[in-house]
Amino acid sequence: MNDANFWAVLDTLMAGAEVLVERPAGSAHPRFPDTRYPLDYGSLRGTTSGDGAEIDVFLGRPGARGVTGVVATVDARKRDTELKLLLDCTPEQGQSVQAFLSWPGSFGCVVIPRPTSSTVIQSGLSGQE
């Protein structure tokens, strides 16, 4: 198994992408006003996600560009799935995104952190990231 290519392709995607922040951290969700975004949330201009919209991103800091993980979501109501990117997020920020996107019985997610070089080596993969 070689997941290094997955992360390299995401880096290539980010190299030419413009990040747009559409909902700053602390802003209310448009359909659920009591739910607040834990981080800046936006999209990558000129990209397309599985839902036909631009690829969604959560930013761990202003100006974030490095892909530190992906979030795989499933929406039982819409009957769809999607990937979102974590940009320069700490593990704690990834956990806050996971909590934000987990609504029992209707919407769930898993956060997949980018492996470090030591993780890749330990799992029997090459030392490439």
Q: Domains in the chain: how many in total?
A: 1
Please give the residue range of the domain that contains residue 75: 4-122
pLDDT tens-digit profile of 65-97? 999 999 999 988 888 899 999 999 999 999 999
Q: Is the pLDDT of residue 120 over 50?
A: no
Q: What is the pTM of this model?
A: 0.86
Q: How far apart are CA 1 and CA 5, in angstroms?
A: 10
Report CA-CA distances (Å) from 118 to 20, 112, 114, 115.
32, 16, 11, 8
Provide the 10 A C-beta neighbour count for residue 61: 14
In a domain, 72, yes or no: yes
In a domain, 129, yes or no: no
* CATH number (domain holding residue 74): 3.90.80.10
pLDDT tens-digit profile of 21-60? 999 999 999 988 999 999 999 999 999 998 889 999 999 9
pLDDT higher at 103 or 96 = 96
